[in-house]
Copies of this chain bind each other. A is one copy, B any other.
Amino acid sequence: MFRKVIHVSTRREGEIIDLTPQVAAVVRESAIRDGLVHLFVQHSTAALTTIECEPGVLADLTRSLAVLAPDDAVYAHNTKWGDGNGRSHVKAALVGPSLTVPVAGGKICCGTWQQIVLLELDVNAGRERTVICTVTDE
């Protein structure tokens, strides 16, 4: 098993960051040829998934997440704590914090149009995000 933390600096709510190159680098550093790479974002207002990392798709995803948790809804979390990030928590819980991708021949087995992304969902922008990257072999 090989573990490394990926640090990501985000700037704004709705930012979607392609982590594929950094995950690929961790897999290379691990020297593991065949196995799995597990990713976990250690925050409750960010999430991980895969998507075609193209500005149009990313804008479409952001809009769909706002259907689930609209900007202008009244959030019990905000009312109680004054945080303003009620919608961020909801979106993050639905997308989820964890993702596992196969590794074969030392490479991540994503599809051609499929990238690993971190979703910055917090309204309070400019955050340091921690993604724990664990590579396991046979």
Interfacial residues, chain A to chain B (CB-CB below 8 A): 1, 3, 34-36, 38, 40, 42-44, 49-52, 54-57, 59-61, 63-65, 67-69, 73, 75-81, 86-87, 89-90, 92-102, 104, 109-111, 113-114, 130, 132, 134, 136-138
Please state if A38 and B40 are interface contacts (CB–CB under 8 Å).
no
Extra inter-chain contacts (10) besides given A40-B109, A102-B134, CB under 8 Å:
A38-B102, A40-B100, A44-B51, A50-B97, A56-B80, A56-B81, A64-B90, A65-B94, A67-B68, A94-B95
With a 10 A CB-CB cut-off, give which of A3, A104, A111 has the most chain B CB atoms.
A111
Please state if B38 and A54 are interface contacts (CB–CB under 8 Å).
no
Please state if A96 and B49 are interface contacts (CB–CB under 8 Å).
yes
Known A61-B90, A76-B59: A44·B40 in contact at CB below 8 Å? no
Question: Complex: how many Å from CA A11 to CA B15?
Answer: 34
Question: Complex: how many Å from CA A76 to CA B50?
Answer: 18
User: Which B residues are CB-close (under 8 A) to A99?
Assistant: 96-98
Q: Which one of B59, B77, B134 lies within 8 Å of A60 (CB-CB)?
A: B77
